[in-house]
Chains A and B, each alone.
Chain A
């Protein structure tokens, strides 16, 4: 059984994109833009002299000086600067001067190109990650005081599962720039998901950096992160008093308040006295970030506290892949969820969450071993030493009929090495392997043992999943009483917030015929119809060929 179900709870933890994507996405711009009046640029007599001089003398030296000054002063639209840029663009001069001239003419000054996204395929992704790490290492060698480059490299190390190197890079960045929004939000995000010390210690460290920053009192983006981390750590958010004042400020652009209102809404679901979650979510959705929209979508599915208009998805600056995945999951559009999770993982290659959700859907809702394998292998890239990632790959291999490969991953960790909360999936996966090996009795015992673990006893959803998986294995064997057991289990678990259960139940009630069953059905039809008509004979022969050319599916090992 797949470990790590999609989170039933969600917190508004900052998204971790590359610096260029974050900048280009507008997440680092100054808040409070609405409040500021237009500004008159200062008088720069030297620039006026240069313009005059250029009108007298169209030489390269005057053009070069004029363009440098024009760029610095933001006067690139001035007639003289444009003319000088045109002259320099075609002149025989330095490549830098020409490049600046071209950027003046195309109005692309300050544009920072995004690096290529990291592919979903784990083998390609590994190569791309190493190549981008080399690029960022070079940046750091050139100028080691660049905290942004340290964060970028930490992100890539995290995506490669090299947590220790990532942690070193994060600490370097926070030492260099302890009061920068990008550094702080990326740091917060790193420590929420980092492995190593205990989870509490990790989150404590993340909170430490947020709370010691002066931005916690002024920047809504930092307040949002502090509130979310505090709730995970089960502590009172320290920024709450400032956050409540800022969240209502009309002077601040709604985009800058989107995540803060989303974090406050999530907090309001948990505790009273903050406001109505629905109202806060609606504020958050005025001009939402992709992350805030995902949070609202989660709240809409889980708590029905807000409704989300379809139109919002079309107006997003950055595609809202996670929100779409959650929406499609609620709508039981499983193939769409898989595609959304792939895109979400490409957008945020450090996150295991799209991989957990995608793998879970592939396994539970689609029972597609190949897709489950893709997601599990990708997860292993980020979390190479995590038992859950190996467990999920074992499950995928079992579905593909590769029992030996599955066993290699399933038995990689000994039970006594695993934390107690993972014992349930450990036994369930052992049970799955036994069933797939044809050892029904052993498999049944293991599944029952899984359902009897402490974690399963405490968590109804987990216990239900164990029993549904057991029933599915029974159904594959066409065991008697499966239908009756399914009805009983459905009665007890239908109210659980697990959209995949209905699909799983339907598959158990109406199992796809095995190759063997389909072959027998065809043989029967041939016998009944006789072999008088050659066309029927031909079609049967074709069907046989098609059947036996099929890729090995879950049933193939039985046949």
Chain B
């Protein structure tokens, strides 16, 4: 008989009852992690604290295969099949990302087949990750706002993480501040939550969707139903947009979409967003660019006038977030790689960002010393 969980809000299915369980390789499952600020993903999974046999703390993600089964209506078998396919896809991608130092690393994984001595009808797959101290969103918006030096340093690390993933033709598709986890006393940042990621040549169910991730962060081409077949222009260009959105949130407090749709007249907003626009993406693009220009002005105004990194940051955001996916990225990279190679490569930005982070740190210190 399976005991009811101590927290009455928790569900009674086995994935919620792992506390105290001993797992292979010396892992001990600790308490359920309450949904923390910013953890907006994690559907069909339960988070736990977890300790190794050396006493180090980690994070365990238990996949909840019971939840799709409990859903009423629809095609249960099909839903379950899709879900399993997605879970398997995430595990495979995480496996491929093991050697990427700016992507949250998988430490271990497996399936729990027994619970409290009873054999489970449906096993519980689990993945153990390194444990973060928080996420970038809470630091950026904390009362003592993060310094621009820290922000640019973090942004550099996120860009490195994306560059590493793009090198294996994996597009993250869900980059946002809450998915940037912090380690080493907030000095190190890594991208997490590959649940919506896609890899070129690997079929996962959510890749069939025009936009597989959070619609609130979707680049405008997806909001207007503009489908591009080519992987790079469809997926890597979207990652650049999301990276720019993180930068925009850091400097203005508002995501790029928040600012863009604030600057866009309702006549040009898609109808599903309570707008009245009914034309094509190509037709609305000039108006998106017009609104985007106002956004860039706002970003520029948000950075101190005398900051030595101001112009470069504004240029990078305008290159990452261009409303036209085919015009995103570094202009030189686009020109050189136009015929062969990845025109959305982040390589040119990495040293630039590292340099800007240093400049910003010096600038921050100068401000503090005044």
Q: Which A residues contact B (CB, under 8 angstroms)?
A: 19, 23-24, 26, 28-30, 32-33, 36, 39-42, 44-47, 49-50, 53, 57, 59-62, 64-65, 67-69, 71-75, 93-97, 100, 103, 109-112, 139, 142-143, 145-149, 176-177, 179-183, 215
Residue B334 at the A interface, CB < 8 A? Answer: no
Asked, given contacts A19-B290, A67-B258, A146-B290, whether A33 binds B276 with beta carbons under 8 Å apart, the answer is yes
Whether B216 and A68, one on each chain, are in contact in the complex, defined by CB atoms closer than 8 angstroms, is yes
> Which of B214, B268, B272 lies at the interface centre, i.e. has the most chain A CB atoms within 10 A of its CB?
B214
**Which residues of B have CB within 8 Å of A146?**
286, 289-290, 292-293
Whether B216 and A73, one on each chain, are in contact in the complex, defined by CB atoms closer than 8 angstroms, is yes
Give, as a whole number of angstroms, the nearest-CB distance from B237 to chain A: 15
**Which residues of A have CB within 8 Å of B178?**
65
Whether B286 and A176, one on each chain, are in contact in the complex, defined by CB atoms closer than 8 angstroms, is yes
Residue B45 at the A interface, CB < 8 A? Answer: no
**Which residues of A have CB within 8 Å of B345?**
none
**Which residues of B have CB within 8 Å of A103?**
262
**Which residues of B have CB within 8 Å of A95?**
302
Whether A71 and B272, one on each chain, are in contact in the complex, defined by CB atoms closer than 8 angstroms, is no
Query: What would be 5 A-B contacts, judged by CB atoms less than 8 Å apart?
Result: A44-B214, A68-B255, A96-B254, A109-B266, A148-B289
Chain A binder among B137-145, B147-155, B199-207:
B137-145
Asked, given contacts A49-B40, A67-B254, A142-B293, whether A215 binds B272 with beta carbons under 8 Å apart, the answer is no
Residue B296 at the A interface, CB < 8 A? Answer: yes
Give, as a whole number of angstroms, the nearest-CB distance from A87 to chain B: 12
Distance in angstroms between the alpha carbons of A146 and B271 in the assembled complex: 24
Q: Is the interface of A mostly helix, strand, loop or mixed?
A: helix
Asked, given contacts A41-B272, A71-B258, whether A26 binds B267 with beta carbons under 8 Å apart, the answer is yes
Known: A23-B265, A49-B40, A146-B293. 14 other contacts (CB 8 A): A64-B141, A65-B255, A72-B215, A94-B253, A96-B254, A100-B259, A110-B262, A139-B293, A142-B297, A145-B327, A146-B286, A147-B289, A149-B290, A180-B287
Interface residues in B113-156 by Cβ distance below 8 A to A read 137-138, 140-143
Residue B365 at the A interface, CB < 8 A? Answer: no
Whether B274 and A142, one on each chain, are in contact in the complex, defined by CB atoms closer than 8 angstroms, is no
Whether A148 and B290, one on each chain, are in contact in the complex, defined by CB atoms closer than 8 angstroms, is yes
Whether A147 and B141, one on each chain, are in contact in the complex, defined by CB atoms closer than 8 angstroms, is no
Distance in angstroms between the alpha carbons of A100 and B254 in the assembled complex: 8
Chain A binder among B25-33, B52-60, B277-285:
B277-285
Give, as a whole number of angstroms, the nearest-CB distance from B160 to chain A: 24
**Which residues of B have CB within 8 Å of A142?**
293, 296-297, 300, 314, 318
Partner of B258, one of A100, A110, A147, A181: A100
Nearest B-chain residue to A30, judged by Cβ: B278
Partner of B271, one of A39, A65, A68, A100: A39
Give, as a whole number of angstroms, the nearest-CB distance from A233 to chain B: 26
Asked, given contacts A29-B267, A74-B275, A143-B293, whether A46 binds B40 with beta carbons under 8 Å apart, the answer is yes
Residue B261 at the A interface, CB < 8 A? Answer: yes
Whether B286 and A33, one on each chain, are in contact in the complex, defined by CB atoms closer than 8 angstroms, is no
**Which residues of A have CB within 8 Å of B43?**
45
**Which residues of A have CB within 8 Å of B305?**
none
